Amino acid sequence: MKPAAEFNPKSAAKKLLREGRTGALATLMAGSGDPYCSLVNVATAADGSPLLLLSKLAVHTKNILTDARVSLMLDERKLGDPLEGARVMLMGRAAVTDDAESRRRYLVRQPEAQMFASFGDFNFYRITITGVHLVAGFGRIVNLKPADVLTNLADADALVAAESEIIAHMNTDHVDAIRLYATKLLTAPDGDWRCVGCDPEGMDLQSGRTALRLPFPQRITAPGPLRDELKRLAELARAKD
pLDDT value of residue 80: 74
Report the C-alpha gap between 112 and 116 in whole angstroms: 9
Q: Which class is domain 9-149?
A: mainly beta
Contact 78, 62 (CB under 8 A): no
**Topology of the domain covering 157-240:** Split barrel-like (3.20.180)
pLDDT value of residue 114: 93
pLDDT above 70 for 168: yes
Instruction: Give the residue from 83, 82, 3, 72 showing the smallest Cα distance to 43.
Output: 72
Q: pTM to 2 decimals?
A: 0.93
pLDDT value of residue 137: 81
The confidence band for 7, taking pLDDT boundaries of 50, 70 and 90, is: confident
Contact 149, 10 (CB under 8 A): yes
Residues 6+ apart with CB under 8 A from 25: 37, 38, 39, 40, 52, 60, 70, 71, 72
CATH 2.30.110.10 domain range(s) in the chain = 9-149
pLDDT value of residue 241: 67
Compare 208 and 80 and report the one with higher pLDDT. 208
Contact 210, 193 (CB under 8 A): no
Contact 127, 94 (CB under 8 A): yes
pLDDT above 70 for 6: yes
CATH 3.20.180.10 domain range(s) in the chain = 157-240
Report the C-alpha gap between 9 and 27 in whole angstroms: 26
pLDDT value of residue 76: 87
Contact 82, 75 (CB under 8 A): yes
pLDDT above 60 for 238: yes
Average pLDDT on 117-132 reads: 95
Average pLDDT on 156-161 reads: 97
pLDDT above 80 for 4: no
pLDDT above 90 for 164: yes
Q: What is the per-residue pLDDT across 34-57, written as a single tens digit (0 to 9) for each? A: 999 999 999 999 999 999 999 999
Compare 133 and 138 and report the one with higher pLDDT. 133
pLDDT above 70 for 3: no
